[in-house]
Amino acid sequence: MKIPRRPWSYGVRQIRWMEGGLPAAFDGNGTFFEGLKGEAAVIVAGGIRLAATEDGNLKVGDRAVPLGAPPVPDGVIAAGGRIYVSTKKGTVVCLGGD
């Protein structure tokens, strides 16, 4: 599998702030997805691409859900049928489930 250079620095992002660069994700098949300008985080869950935008929305296709605050970089995760977004306001937004 060919991996672009930037994702290799992902572990560094956990201990040192890195400016610039777009978010990135892999799906379960190893397909690489790079974020777009204006996106703070991107994940692929259940074959669906989700992106948290710097203006505080979670985009799924052409739909957007307001988060109430901008997300932190790489601050989106999918677990247990839900999407969790960590925001710069210090909150965690949970979407989905019952």
DSSP assignment of the chain equals ----TGGGGHHHHTTS---S---EEE-TT--EEE--TTEEEEEEETTEEEEEETTSEEEETTEEEE-SSPEEEEEEEEETTEEEEEETTS-EEEEE--
Instruction: Give me the sign of the Cα torsion angle 26, 85, 22, 62.
Output: positive
Whether the CB-CB separation of 67 and 74 falls below 8 Å is answered with no
Q: Where are the domains of the chain?
A: 6-96
Q: How confident is the model at residue 67 (pLDDT cuts 50, 70, 90)?
A: very high
- As a whole number, mean pLDDT of residues 12-21 equals 52
Per CATH, the number for 6-96 is 2.40.10
pTM over 0.95: no
Q: Say which range, 3-7, 43-47, 50-54, 93-97, has the weakest mean pLDDT.
A: 3-7
| pLDDT over 50 (residue 10) | no
